[in-house]
Structure 1
Amino acid sequence: MNTSPLPPAQDLGWGITCIDTLQERPGLACCYLVGRDGEYAFVEAGTAHGVPRLLALLAERGIAREQVRYVIPTHVHLDHAGGAGVLMRELPAARLVAHPRGARHLIDPSKLIAGAEAVYGKAAVAQMYGEIAAIPEERVIVAGDGHVLPLGRSELRFIDTPGHARHHFSIWDASSRGFFTGDTFGLSYRDFDGPGGPYLFPTTTPVQFEPEAWFGTLDRYLSFKPERMFLTHFSVVENVTKLAADLREGLHRYVALATPLRTAPQRHGALLEALNQDALAALKKLGSAMPEARVRELLAFDTELNAQGLEVWLDRPAA
C-alpha cells in the first residue's frame, strides 16, 4: 500500500487532478480536484479515511481551503459520498452539490448508515468508511438536470444519469470536453490496460440497476460529443465512442447471463462465476496476459457487488 504522507495525484490537464483515495487498494477509487481561475471543486468525496489526503494536497499546492467552492459526490453510495460531511467541515466556504434524490441522505445520513450496517455490520462500516457526518441543509445545493454552476470563468453542467442509481448525476466540463461520470460510464481499472485498450465493465451495485435507463444515459452522454470520461473507478479514459459501445455490449451480456439464473439453485454462486467468466473472456479479447487468479483477485469486490445487484434486479417485480 502507498504510505506517502501526500495523496498520490496525477495532473491530467485542464486544471484537473486525479487523486487516489486508496480505498481497499491503490487504483480502485479516486476524487478529482478541478481548479479554474483560483476557484476549486472536489468531484467525489471518497470516505472519511481519505479526507486527510485531499486536504494535504491543497496544502502542498498552496491552495487555501476557502478557495474550494464545491464538494460534488456524483451519487450517495458511500465510496463516493461517505466522506462528504467530514470534508465539508474542513472547507468553510464550500457548498455540497447533490442530486435531488440524494440530497436528503447527505443532510441526514442515518438511513445510509443503517442500510450499510444492515449489510456489513457496524464494525465493518466504521472500518471501511470512517465517520459519516451530516451536512447542514443550508450548505447544500440541489442540482437537478441542466443545473449550471460557475467555477472561475468556466462552468460545470449537471445532467441526470440513471442506470446505476436513480440518485446519480454526471458533470459536463466543456473546458476538457469531458464528463465526470461517477459509476455510470462503468469501471475501468488501469491494472487491466493492455494492447487492446482499456477494459470497461458495468457496475450493478444494489439496489437500482436499470439497464434500459442506462442505455438512455449512454445516448445522452454521446449527444455531447465528449472526448474523454473522468471515471471514479479509475481515472481518465478516451476513445469514448468505442468504450460506450463496449459498455452497452457489456450491459447486454450481464442481462443475458443473469436472466436464465433467475430461479437457479445456488443462484449467487452461479452469478459470481458467470461474471468472472465474462471478465476473463473480455480481457482475453483485449489481449490481456494477466493470470486468471490475479484477475479474480482484483475483481473480487466488484464481482460480489455486481452479483448482489443483479439478484435485486432479477427479483424486482415486472413493471
Structure 2
Amino acid sequence: MPDFLEDLGHGIYAIDTGFQRPRFDAAYLIVENGRAAFVDTGTNHAVPRLLAALAALGLAPEAVDWVIPTHVHLDHAGGVGLLMQSLPKARALVHPRGLRHMVDPKALWLGALAVYGEEEMQRSYGKLVPVPAERAEASHDEQLLMLAGRPLRLIDSPGHARHHHAIWDERSRSWFTGDTFGLSYRAFDVDGRAWVLPTSTPVQFEPDALKATVARLLAAGPVAMQVTHYGRIGCSVDEVKRLAALMLDQVDEMVALAESLRAAPDRHERLKAGLLDDYLARLRAHGHAAGADAADWLALDAELNAQGLEVWLDRPAR
C-alpha cells in the first residue's frame, strides 16, 4: 500500500493529498462491495494520488459512484473537476450553495485569489476544471445516499462555511466533518490523544451556527470524526465529546478576543498574535512542548483565522 494511503477500517481509507506538507490535507475513499465514493479531493495536484489509491486497492476508475466535497474551499474541492474526468461513472454531490461554483468555478477562483494571491494560487491549486452540469447535483439536509447498499447521511453543517455539509457513516459511526469539527494535526498528538483548534478561515465564519452544527454532530453519538486536516480522531463517544468541548471553548475565546480588538488600529496583528499565543498555551496544557516548530506550523492558521474573524466582525448583518 502506498505510504500516502491509510486503512482506517470499515472500508474507509485516508489519502494524504500532499497539499502544503505531509499529513495536512486528507481526502477519503469509502469502499463498499466493490463500489467507491470520494469525500473531499484536495487540489488538482492530488488527483494522481487519488487515482493511485484506487489502483492500489484493486479498483477501476469506473467503480467510483460519487465524489462528495464537504464544501467548495479549494483544499477540499479544488480537484473535483479534474478527478471526475478520469471517473466516467461518478457524479458530484455538492451542497446547494456550492454547486454552481463546481459547475462554473470562476467566482471560486477569484474569491480564493483575494485571500492567497496569484503566485500561491498557481503553486498550490492550478487551473480549476469545471464539473459538467449533467454530472453534478445538489445535496439536501437529511439526504440518504446509498453506496452499494451502505447508507450515508448528509446534513447541512454551517459555521465554517454556508456551503458545507457533513456525511454520517453508520457503519463506522463516524462523521466526515470537513472543517466543521476543526483542525487536528497528528504532529500534536500526545500519548495517542488528539488536540483540535477551530478554523474561522474567510469568509463565512459564524460562531453560533458552528456551535449548533457541532451539537448536531454529537447527537448521533459518533465514536470518531474524519477531519480533512488531518485524519481520523477520537476512539470513543467520550473522546469525541472531549474534543468537541475543547474546540467550542476555543470558539468562545476567539470571539471574545476579536470583540475586544474590534476598534484597535493594529487589530489584525494583535488578533493574529493573540490566537497564536492561545494555541501554544493550549498545546502546552495538552502536554506538547509547543516550541518554535509548533509556532511555525500554526502561523498560517493564526493568519487565516484572524482574517476570518475580522470578516465576521465587519459583516453588516451582525
> Where on the TM-score scale, by shorter chain, does this alignment land: which range?
over 0.9
Q: Distance in 2 between matches of 1:40 and 1:100?
A: 22
How far apart are the structure 1 equivalents of 2:157 and 2:96? 12
How many residue pairs align between the two structures? 314
One-letter amino acid matched to 2:283: L
Structure 1, unpaired ranges of 5+: none
In the alignment, is the contact (CA less than 8 A) between 1:48 and 1:129 conserved in 2?
yes
Is 1:96 aligned to residue 92 of structure 2?
A: yes
> 1:108 touches 1:134 (CA, 8 Å); kept in 2?
yes
TM-score by length of 2: 0.96
Deviations 1:90-130 (A, max 9, x none): 10000001001000100100101122223333332121101
Partner Cα distance (2:252, 2:192) in 1 = 21
Q: 2:47 aligned to 38, 51, 58, which one?
A: 51
Q: How far apart are 1:318 and its partner, in Å?
A: 4.8
Gaps of 5+ in 2: none
The equivalences for 1:118-267 within 5 A come to 118-195=114-191, 197-238=193-234, 239-267=239-267
User: 1:277 maps to which residue?
Assistant: 277
> CA separation in 1, counterparts of 2:29 and 2:129?
21
RMSD: 1.3
Distance 1:140 1:7, change over 3 A: farther
What is the TM-score when the length of structure 1 is the normalising length? 0.96
What amino acid sits opposite 2:297 in the alignment?
L
Q: Distance in 2 between matches of 1:102 and 1:138?
A: 15
Deviates more, 1:63-72 or 1:294-303: 294-303
Q: 1:264, 1:165 → 2: CA distance?
A: 26
Q: Work out the CA distance in 1 between the residues paired with 2:40 and 2:280.
A: 30
Q: 1:318 to 1:99 in 2, by over 3 A?
A: closer
> Which residue in the other structure is 1:114 paired with?
110
| In structure 2, C-alpha distance between the alignment counterparts of 1:146 and 1:94, rounded to whole Å | 21
2:28 to 32, 53, 68: 32
3-state SS of paired residue (1:46)? coil
2:9 corresponds to: 13
Following superposition, the deviation at residue 317 of structure 1 comes to 2.2
Q: Which amino acid aligns with 2:74?
A: L
Question: Is the alpha carbon distance of 1:7 and 1:69 closer, same or farther for their aligned partners in structure 2, counting shifts above 3 Å?
Answer: farther
Give the Cα–Cα distance (whole angstroms) in 2 for the partners of residues 110 and 47 of structure 1.
15
Identity %: 52
CA contact (8 A) 1:103 1:140 kept: yes
- Contact kept, 8 Å, 2:280 with 2:290, in 1: the verdict is no
Partner residue in 1 for 2:295: 296
User: Quick one: distance in 2 between partners of 1:123 and 1:25?
Assistant: 18
Q: 1:64 to 1:196 in 2, by over 3 A?
A: closer
1:33–1:41 contact (8 Å) kept in structure 2: yes
Runs of 4 or more above 6 Å deviation = none
